[in-house]
Structure 1
Amino acid sequence: MNTRNWLFHKRTVANMTQEEVAKLADIQRPYYTQIESGVRRPSVKVAKRIGDILGFNWIIFFENECSETRQNTTA
């Protein structure tokens, strides 16, 4: 399992709970939790919604080597 610390960081900077992001993304909180913890990869549709909500480029979910450094510098 590869925890998405960058996603956790984006969410906390936005001062949002997992429940709030999930609701805005029109998904269940357990599904969002699995995405954030790295258990599941979101669909393109869900990735776009989460990216819009938290203000980052959604394609990062689908990169093979998602670097923490890149996430911390990407708006």
Structure 2
Amino acid sequence: MTKEQLRDTLIRAREAKQLTQEQVVSMSGANITRQYYSMIENGDRRPSVDVAKKIAPVLGVSWTIFFEIESNQKLRKTSSS
């Protein structure tokens, strides 16, 4: 999954539930700001496992989605070496 695909998936999931970023943060109980969530949603920051596990149920996605980019980047680096 690319950074753009992650962003699109998170935005679609949030919009499908008719939630604002602020509502996602509030409903998750994660101790983060709306600004930090925005960076997560845009793929600029990766949440901790704890935060991912709190945000994911609000959006209806698997918490592991936040880490799929890193895994794929490592695989690409390994295969191109």
- What TM-score results when the alignment is normalised by the length of structure 1? 0.77
Runs of 4+ in 1 over 4 A off after TM superposition: none
1:55 match: 60
Higher relative contact order (CA 8 A, sep 6+): 2
1:21 matched to 2:24: yes
Please state how far the C-alpha of 1:11 moved relative to its aligned partner: 0.3
Task: Give the aligned length.
Answer: 64
1:40 matched to 2:45: yes
CA RMSD of aligned residues (A): 1.2
How many percent of aligned residue pairs carry the same amino acid?
A: 47
- Normalized per residue, which structure has more helix? 2
- What TM-score results when the alignment is normalised by the length of structure 2? 0.72
